[in-house]
Structure 1
Amino acid sequence: MAAAGVIVTGGCETVEFGGATGVSVDATGAPVAVLAICEGNIDGLELYSGEGDNTVTHGDWQRRIPASGFATVELARPADGWTSSQRLGELKAGETYGLFGGTRDNRWATAHVTFTLESLARLRPGEVLRQAYDETSDRDRDVITSVEEFRGEVC
């Protein structure tokens, strides 16, 4: 699966996907963003729920020097140049969350990943949840891989 080169249009802006977002967990079960950046770079992350006018942002993280290649971000304890203006709040059972990376100038983005607390609970550290399109069902389906497989499959 190659994530680069897909174009998304929203409103008046066109953003090119340069990679994909996955989610993992740390040793305590807290969420960790996993970014495979195939083209361009990423200087921000957003965690949200809902859709359209009902979208709620639950967290955003920035990086002064954009990340490229591969990056992980512990959402509760960002490090390695990542910062957040707010502390990650408590995630709610039954709620579906989306997570994606992007740039301040909307030049690049990573395809988002969706997850619930229940799907995070099934992950072990080193495993990455992402979605992949299934032609048979014409829907995205959850795929769990190792970090190494995620890096190799996406770019």
Structure 2
Amino acid sequence: MAWTRRIALAAALCGAMAVLPGCTVPVAGMTGVSVTEDGQPLGVMLVCHGHTDVAVLSTDRGRPGDGGLELGTWTRTEGLTGYSTWPLSGTGGDGWSTPKPLAPLVPGQEYTLFGGTKGNSWSVMDVHFSADDLATLAPGQVIHFDVSGESADADGQVTTSVGQFRAEVCSDGPVAGRQVSHGTRHPPPLTRR
């Protein structure tokens, strides 16, 4: 039921955005989440083309400015053009940095991790998850949006191996080079004040 509402809302937003010039950002890849050997949360990002240099974690399945509360932001001095993982609980890693370590995730709270570029030239599809979802993961597994649509849960999410994530994300769906509007599964332009 929730999935059909999301599709209907996305279709309505796509139609509305089609008449507004400059309201699309090309999708460059996908965001996911995983865990370390000791169960700590990891951000996962795969950029298929273009680059990304910002990742944002927010609450309430909303993004900052849309009712979501920004909990953490990671940036890169050099844009990511491939695959990367970084600890969400520390000050960064693998080229990502944040000035403030993330507070522990709260069981039952829904989170959204998404990314893009400081100049709004590229975005990556987001992932929705909870601390409870992470507790079910084994190291080497990734929760992400299901590009095939075949195995998704009610929210469009799927759990795969890192290898499957890396092999399939860039070969199918919206990250295979198609431009989509903000009514779909990627973030609005990132604005910094």
Fold match (TM-score > 0.5): yes
Moved more, 92-101 or 125-134: 125-134
Where does the alignment leave 5 or more consecutive residues of structure 2 unmatched? 1-13, 171-193
Higher share in strand = 1
Moved more, 127-136 or 85-94: 127-136
Give the whole-Å Cα distance in 1 for the aligned partners of 2:72 and 2:151: 34
TM-score by length of 2: 0.69
Moved more, 112-121 or 125-134: 125-134
Q: Equivalent residues in 2 for 1:1-155 (5 A)? A: 13-50=23-60, 51=62, 53-77=66-90, 78-132=92-146, 134=149, 140-155=155-170
- Structure 1 residue 141: deviation in Å? 3.0
Give the whole-Å Cα distance in 2 for the aligned partners of 1:143 and 1:39: 22
Read off the aligned partner of 2:159 and give its amino acid letter. I
- Structure 1 residue 144: deviation in Å? 1.1
Kindly indicate whether the alpha-carbon contact (under 8 Å) linking 2:48 and 2:82 is maintained by their aligned counterparts in 1: yes
How high is the sequence identity, in percent, across the aligned residues?
A: 39
TM-score by length of 1: 0.85
Kindly indicate whether the alpha-carbon contact (under 8 Å) linking 1:132 and 1:140 is maintained by their aligned counterparts in 2: no
Give the whole-Å Cα distance in 2 for the aligned partners of 1:39 and 1:148: 18
Where does the alignment leave 5 or more consecutive residues of structure 1 unmatched? 1-7
Q: Secondary structure at the match of 1:100?
A: strand
Query: Which structure 1 residue ranges, 4+ long, deviate > 6 Å from structure 2?
Result: 135-138
**Larger radius of gyration between Structure 1 and Structure 2:** 2
For this pair of structures, how many residues does the alignment match?
147
Kindly indicate whether the alpha-carbon contact (under 8 Å) linking 1:98 and 1:114 is maintained by their aligned counterparts in 2: yes
